[in-house]
Amino acid sequence: MELISNLIYQLGGGIYNLLSFSLIISVIVFVHEYGHYIIAKAYKVKVESFSIGFGPGIFGFYDKSGTRWKLSAIPLGGYVKMLGDNNAASIPIDQQELTEEEKSYSLHTKPRYQKAAIVFAGPFANMIFAIIALTIFFSVVGYYHTPPVIGKVIEGSAAKQAGLLPGDTITQINEHKIKYFEDISRVMMSNPETKIEIKYSRNNEEYSTSLTPLTIEDKDIFGNIIERKTIGITSVNIKELKQSSFLGAVSLSVSETYHTMCLTIKALFQIIVGKRSVNEIGGPIKIAKYSGQSAKKGFIMVLYFMAIISANLAAINLLPIPLLDGGHLFHYIIEAVIRRDLSLKYQKYAATFGASVLFLLMAIAISNDIRHLF
């Protein structure tokens, strides 16, 4: 009986996570695709369809300009298909097949700077969304600008063994300048190296030391057990440092969006070169789990989660992989250099390669998600 109750409970939780995931990812995808859409319309490109999700359509409608707006069955993305596209991945058809009137509204007959602007508008919309969402989050819950001063050194920690003391000011870790205490954890996350070089000041004198961070189990903001690196220090008392000014929230939101995107790209590069494990790649199941957890904590936490996912989506889409927005931008750069369009044959081969890379990454991500469930 207890086993059946547990299964029902897990099933209910899974459905809740799935619904939360579908809603959150649909909003983020809509923002991304609407970025493409609005700039395409500004450059007089005909948009044939605007889909949230892939696969067969669940329902939809046509607007007065002839665009088919629809919600599709698989909530793992979306697309805007424009006149001149052969498919949702924006692989062009032979433009000679179009009438002269159709050519004037085709994406692929527009100047390269216009095509580039349309392509870049998707990731840019996600950046703007992340900044707005984080600004609301920080304005409501407040934020900290904690000085990088050590408040306490944990006994037996790497910092203790390296000779760091309370009152020391951390000024640099490896090549990264430290402005706030929060920068320390950000640098630790982006550097998988086992040994780090720390510069610090004590009594107005500069010192340096090297140490090896320890990996400990901790909990994230949703209560999940995670592994993180630590050197064993805490900050000074921050109770009186909480701020909530609007301009400060905007500035911090821009900074957090930028650092989130940089960390995403850097982590992927480190996985490719073998400095990080492929086990760190998370997929839709993990995102669904976090979607449900954020939804249970209320709208403001959902907003924070959506901001992080939106910034991640912007970063990933700017990678120069065919089928992604960054792949299209890379093609336009090549065309600008060689001063001619790339052949349709090349673009089809590139699309096949890009699809293979993306399917491989998705397979790894889903495999990791399933393994972490058990």
Catalytic annotation, residues = 33
Q: Is residue 201 a contact partner of residue 171, using CB atoms and an 8 Å limit?
A: yes
Q: Give the tokens for residue 15.
A: 């459905």
Nearest alpha-carbon partner for 38 in 77, 70, 82, 92: 82
Within 10 angstroms of residue 36's Cβ, the number of other Cβ atoms is 28
Q: Give the tokens for residue 68.
A: 């088919």
Pairwise CA distance, residues 305 & 18, whole Å: 15
Return the bridge partners of 262, or none.
none
Q: Is residue 176 a contact partner of residue 188, using CB atoms and an 8 Å limit?
A: no
Helix (H) or strand (E) run with residue 250 in it: helix 246-272
Phi, psi of 62 (to 5 degrees): -100, 135
Pairwise CA distance, residues 282 & 296, whole Å: 21
Residue 95 DSSP SS3? helix
Residue 111 DSSP SS3? coil
